[in-house]
Copies of this chain bind each other. A is one copy, B any other.
């Protein structure tokens, strides 16, 4: 979960769709497996739908406070993708989306816990379930996406919900996917961590240049200038899950090591005395020009040295952000590293 592709407005679209579609492929009998093209079309439907829904609220442009986006739009995305791969009829597709709305949503409080990955996993499976229920004829509200004042449908999840009708496919239809901001994380943590990590990494270089090697002895005080977002502001994270949601942890790890990697969240790394010494010197500020918004936020790390000198690092656009995308080589490296750990059954679709 904490290594997923991230959109702006922010959700992780793929994880809610891909497992559900693989499950549909497994379910379908051998003589009616979908083609690779069918599979990709369904995948695109699933993530296009999520993007449309994310744009029904301005609240959705900011780092979430109430509901975890993958469980909100992801469930409907999974339902839409599965409905497509199962070739449901138009009205069944509508019911599948509406049933999915009844299976959506999870509060943010579980974000920095083991249960966070449940959210997108459930989005995938419950969306599939919604599509299967609709295929058996179960009906739900055809107006679940409408903005019906007084009775909440999908609007229950947003304070400022304002749906926009899709132009008919016969008219000129611009797919979101053709113009979608997508970030790829370089390390498995909340996306917001990437800004402070890069800012701190640049201070790390200055520190090494100045005195040679030892970081902790030089640092008197660390000031982070980051957006205000309570669930990623954790001075002393106790678990790897909390560490993945801590500005302080990621800044200090990068100050110490020059980067944040998969290994930065291991038990050994978490328990390093040097890291804890640095964490004890961190202060946090939330400048007004630094909103909790992945398109406009920045990360700034200001280190006061024991001698009184001040070193600064700032990151406006980390490597992996949509304004500074990973190269294909970096993407391939990430894919191989992630996929290498798994084992895969024989292929699920026709070539």
Residues of A with Cβ closer than 8 Å to B? 65-68, 71, 98-99, 101-115, 118-119, 122, 133, 138-141, 143-144, 148-157, 228-231
Contact B114 A151 (CB under 8 A): no
Contact B102 A153 (CB under 8 A): no
When the two chains form the complex, which single residue of B67, B115, B144 contacts A138, counting CB atoms closer than 8 Å?
B115
Report the Cα distance A107→B109, complex, angstroms.
20
Question: Can you report 15 residue pairs joining A to B where beta carbons are below 8 Å apart?
Answer: A66-B156, A99-B118, A102-B107, A102-B122, A105-B105, A105-B156, A107-B154, A107-B157, A108-B151, A109-B141, A109-B153, A111-B151, A113-B139, A113-B140, A150-B228
Report the Cα distance A110→B103, complex, angstroms.
11
Contact B230 A144 (CB under 8 A): no
When the two chains form the complex, which single residue of B65, B148, B152 contacts A152, counting CB atoms closer than 8 Å?
B65
Contact A109 B66 (CB under 8 A): no
In addition to A105-B105, A108-B151, 7 A-B residue pairs with Cβ atoms within 8 Å of each other are A65-B150, A65-B151, A66-B152, A102-B107, A104-B107, A107-B152, A108-B156
Identical copies in the complex: 2
Contact A102 B114 (CB under 8 A): no
- Contact A67/B114 with A101-B106, A109-B143, A230-B150 known, Cβ cut-off 8 Å: no
Report the Cα distance A143→B230, complex, angstroms.
14
Contact A144 B109 (CB under 8 A): yes
Task: Please indicate the chain B residues that have their CB under 8 angstroms from the CB of A104 in the complex.
Answer: 105-107
When the two chains form the complex, which single residue of B108, B118, B119, B152 contacts A109, counting CB atoms closer than 8 Å?
B152
Min CB distance A53 to B, Å, is 13
Contact A148 B102 (CB under 8 A): no
Report the Cα distance A172→B138, complex, angstroms.
48
Task: Please indicate the chain B residues that have their CB under 8 angstroms from the CB of A114 in the complex.
Answer: 138-140
Report the Cα distance A231→B112, complex, angstroms.
37
Contact B101 A109 (CB under 8 A): yes
Closest to A228 in B: B150
Task: Please indicate the chain B residues that have their CB under 8 angstroms from the CB of A108 in the complex.
Answer: 151-153, 156
Task: Please indicate the chain B residues that have their CB under 8 angstroms from the CB of A155 in the complex.
Answer: 107
Closest to A122 in B: B103
Report the Cα distance A111→B107, complex, angstroms.
22
Contact B230 A151 (CB under 8 A): yes
Report the Cα distance A139→B241, complex, angstroms.
10
Report the Cα distance A186→B85, complex, angstroms.
44
Closest to A241 in B: B139
Min CB distance A106 to B, Å, is 4
When the two chains form the complex, which single residue of B98, B149, B150 contacts A110, counting CB atoms closer than 8 Å?
B98
